Amino acid sequence: MSGVCVVVPALECGRTVAAVVAGVRATVPGVPVVVVDDGSHDDTGARAAAAGGVVLRHARRGGKGAALATGFAWALARGHDAVATMDGDGQHAPGELPTLLAAHRREPEALVIGARAIARPDGPMPPLNQLGNRFSTYWLGLFAGQPVGDSQSGFRVYPRAVLAEPPRTTGFEVESELLLRAARLGLSIRPVTITTIYQPPAARTSHFRPVTDTLRIIALVLRQTRWPAAR
């Protein structure tokens, strides 16, 4: 098998994951949708399977990086050339996946990032998220040597070269790690403008902690110079 598959890391996404899976399957028929249920206590896995997704389940929560690593391993073992990722909480519109895939087809070796508008009049990103995103995006772009658009967006297409080795990190900083890995491999990073669906606070299922996880990203950037070069 070749081509692209979609990996969806999901934690306690029973309310939203079926719509994500169904939306992807309707938008890009025939592309496998792999949901990694990261130890959810709700019916995330059952709903994803009922919607037609391939479900891989962690017995206990490992973190977003661990969930992505599981999905990447599945894709690589089946010979996929690239992996598209999107979140299971309904934050990314499946209808925009063809835009990212078109960018991937134009430049198959690039890391494509769905770049969100940091603030919109109809639904702004929460203030702490804005601050963390701006800060990390600036510094990651500086270290990567090229603009990255939106360093914390989970809506991406990864070329196979970036996935050749499992991620070292297990939390939300994994996306920063993979971005820096792409840059160190000499690959282009291509931001593509997308919209993002921001839900009211009471309805949000995101487990990103703006302060804690931004600090973890900063620590990752500071220590990345000590990592051996990616092969």
pLDDT value for 81: 95
* Backbone φ, ψ for residue 217 (5° rounding): -65, -40
Cβ pair 110, 141 in contact under 8 A: no
Per-domain boundaries in the chain:
4-226
Q: How far apart are CA 142 and CA 145, in angstroms?
A: 5
- Give the strand pairing for 4-10 and 82-85: parallel
- Write down the pLDDT at residue 62: 96
Q: Where are the alpha helices (DSSP H) in the chain?
A: 17-27, 44-50, 64-77, 97-106, 127-144, 174-184, 210-223
Dig out the tokens for 93 from the structure: 């519109």
Q: Which amino acid is at 160?
A: R
Is 7 strand, coil or helix?
A: strand
Give CA–CA dist 35/67, Å, rounded.
9
Question: Cα–Cα distances in Å, from 157 out to 48, 99, 119, 163?
Answer: 21, 11, 23, 11
35 closest CA partner among 60, 5, 63: 5
> What is the average per-residue pLDDT within 81-88?
96
Percent of the chain topping pLDDT 70: 72
pLDDT at 95 over 90: yes
Going by pLDDT thresholds of 50, 70 and 90, the confidence category of residue 108 is: very high
Q: Which residue has the tokens 């995103």?
A: 133
Burial of 169 from C-beta contacts in 10 A (0-12 / 13-18 / 19+): buried
Reply yes or no on whether the pLDDT at 80 is more than 90.
Answer: yes
Find out if CATH 3.90.550.10 is the number for domain 4-226.
yes
pLDDT band, very low/low/confident/very high, at 202 (cuts 50, 70, 90): very low
- State mean pLDDT over 103-115: 96
* Stretch 90-98: mean pLDDT: 94
Confidence of residue 132 (pLDDT cuts 50, 70, 90): low
Residue 222 neighbours by CB under 8 Å, 6+ apart: none
Q: Which residue did the predictor score with more confidence, 196 or 40?
A: 40
pTM for this model (two decimals)? 0.82
Residue 181 has pLDDT above 70, yes or no: yes
By the 8 A CB rule, do 56 and 40 touch? Answer: no
Q: Which of 50-64, 92-106, 164-178, 194-208 has the lowest mean pLDDT?
A: 194-208
**pLDDT tens-digit map of 9-56:** 999 999 999 999 999 999 999 999 999 999 999 999 999 999 999 999
pLDDT in the model for residue 198: 61
Tell me the two tokens of residue 231.
Answer: 């092969």
pLDDT at residue 120 tops 50? no
